[in-house]
Structure 1
Amino acid sequence: MDPSVSAFQLLLTGDPALLGIVRLSLIVSMSAVGLATLVGVPIGACIALTHFPGRTAVIVVFNALMGLPPVVAGLAVFLLLSRSGPLGPLGLLFTPTAMVFAQVVLVTPIIAALTRQTIEDLWGEYRDELTAMNVGAVRRVGTLIWDGRFSLITIVLAGFGRAAAEVGAIIIVGGNIDGFTRTMTTAIALETSKGDIPLAIGLGVVLMAIVVLVNALAWVIGRTAQRYAG
């Protein structure tokens, strides 16, 4: 039977192995993006609105980390979580938690750097009004985050796209263990090498559907932001 036909049969029948891999992938990526958002948005906003020695260097570092190679991030997390590493006693290596940790390392700089640019642009636009109203630092951050919420949601979606398509870091720290740490990207690589093309195609179709959906949401949010601004 043609591999494409077999792949769509797996999708239509709801193959348990395929669904399990998709479920784990979504849980890991969504958890990582949620944590990265909680960390990255405040950091980006604080960098945008404060001036301190070395601020330019911090901005350069965050911008550089946006292109951090996944295998380097995976290696760093592996060393942290390995038995001889500082977090080794926690026993997190080769678990979904380690995979979340690795994706947080990859996604947080993206969210922080793009948030910094967004909030800095908004601060330049509303500086006079907020200063005249004597708005405090905390309220200032909250106000600008709320005003830039559509742009920030788009940034978060970009972070999710990065996390969902990542393979290098999570295969290092997760081990690609069947039924436990195998995600869509790692499974596609493995099943292709094993010759199980239908499952690889099925997972590829699901992954592409998720990527298209995320980009569609980003486009809709961007259009909504334009109408709102207008």
Structure 2
Amino acid sequence: MELIWEGIKKAVELLWSLDPEVLGITFFTLKVTVLATLVSLVLGLGAGTALALNTFPGKRLLISLINTGMGLPPVVVGLFVTILLWRNGPFGGLELLYTPSAIVIAQTVIATPIIAGISVAALQQLPQDLRLQILALGATRTQMVFMLLREARLPLLAAVMAGFGGVISEVGASLMVGGNIKGETRVLTTATVMETGKGNFDVAIALSLLLLVLTFAVNAALTHLQQRERPR
């Protein structure tokens, strides 16, 4: 208990002193996580919408693969992204390994199935006649899609929160593809692992608390938006 209390005091000290290294890690964590979440939102929402609103052979298999991807271990993602970006790999010439871009790519791979899977479920739970009613009122197919997305906005916001939570909390993929380089690719999770390994438990607890505060702040904002949109 005393160790936890020391960690809380250390977190307050780091924030109060505006420690440049800690602030840099925190802002970098937020930057790459938000970017990965936005890219995953575009890819996941697009894939989820296409799967939910179209019928074709193999649809159930694809949905099963996406649902499986929702539980994809980050270390597995990190392994395959590392292989792809390795200097002798297919994309080694891009020299992206151990850069922020590599972290964004790995986190996008983790979050996209989460957002896509929840999006499929959210759109499929809408009444099947709703699409016909919208089209009967003269809407184009594009307008119909946007109206359906609006109807499913609450669970879709939950998909965004789930995707964000999945990437900001992961450590394996970021460590493998980013290398935990000071000032370049170090995020709060990898910094926490490093400080724990060094026996600096007070600093590790402080970083963990900062991670929790950051996660809560973003999710609180999204939750406020979600509940404001909730039908009365």
TM over 0.5: yes
| Distance (whole Å) between structure 2 residues aligned to residue 58 and residue 120 of structure 1 | 15
Equivalent residue for 2:33? Answer: 29
| 1:218 CA displacement | 4.7
Over residues 157-204 of structure 1, what are the superposed CA-to-partner deviations in whole Å (9 max), with x where a residue is unaligned? 221111111101110100111111110000001011112233222211
Aligned partners of 2:157 and 2:226 also within 8 Å: no
Aligned partners of 1:150 and 1:221 also within 8 Å: no
Aligned counterpart for 1:105 among listed residues 92, 97, 109: 109
Equivalent residue for 1:212? Answer: 216
Is it true that 1:66 corresponds to 2:70 in the alignment?
A: yes
Equivalent residue for 2:49? Answer: 45
- Change in Cα spacing, 1:4 to 1:132, as seen in structure 2 (3 Å) is closer
Aligned counterpart for 1:124 among listed residues 123, 128, 134: 128
Aligned partners of 1:154 and 1:221 also within 8 Å: no
Aligned counterpart for 2:24 among listed residues 12, 20, 34: 20
TM-score, normalised by the number of residues in structure 1: 0.92
After superposition, where does 1:148-167 map in structure 2 within 5 Å? Answer: 148-167=152-171
Aligned counterpart for 1:192 among listed residues 193, 196, 205: 196
Aligned partners of 2:171 and 2:189 also within 8 Å: yes
| Distance (whole Å) between structure 1 residues aligned to residue 34 and residue 225 of structure 2 | 19
After superposing the two structures, state which structure 1 stretch, 153-162 or 35-44, moved more: 153-162
What amino acid does structure 2 have at the position aligned with 1:63? Answer: N
What amino acid does structure 2 have at the position aligned with 1:43? Answer: A
- Change in Cα spacing, 1:125 to 1:163, as seen in structure 2 (3 Å) is farther
Q: Note the residue ranges of structure 1 that are not aligned, 5 or more in a row.
A: none
| 1:146 CA displacement | 2.3
Q: Note the residue ranges of structure 2 that are not aligned, 5 or more in a row.
A: none
| 1:11 CA displacement | 1.5
Equivalent residue for 2:87? Answer: 83
Aligned counterpart for 1:201 among listed residues 190, 205, 210: 205
Query: Is the partner of 2:181 in helix, strand or coil?
Result: coil
Equivalent residue for 2:9? Answer: 5
Aligned counterpart for 2:97 among listed residues 93, 97, 100: 93
Q: How many residues align?
A: 228
Matched residues, percent identical?
A: 39
| 1:125 CA displacement | 5.9
Aligned counterpart for 1:138 among listed residues 128, 135, 142: 142
| 1:53 CA displacement | 0.6
TM-score, normalised by the number of residues in structure 2: 0.91
What amino acid does structure 2 have at the position aligned with 1:166? Answer: E
RMSD of aligned residue pairs (Cα, Å): 1.9
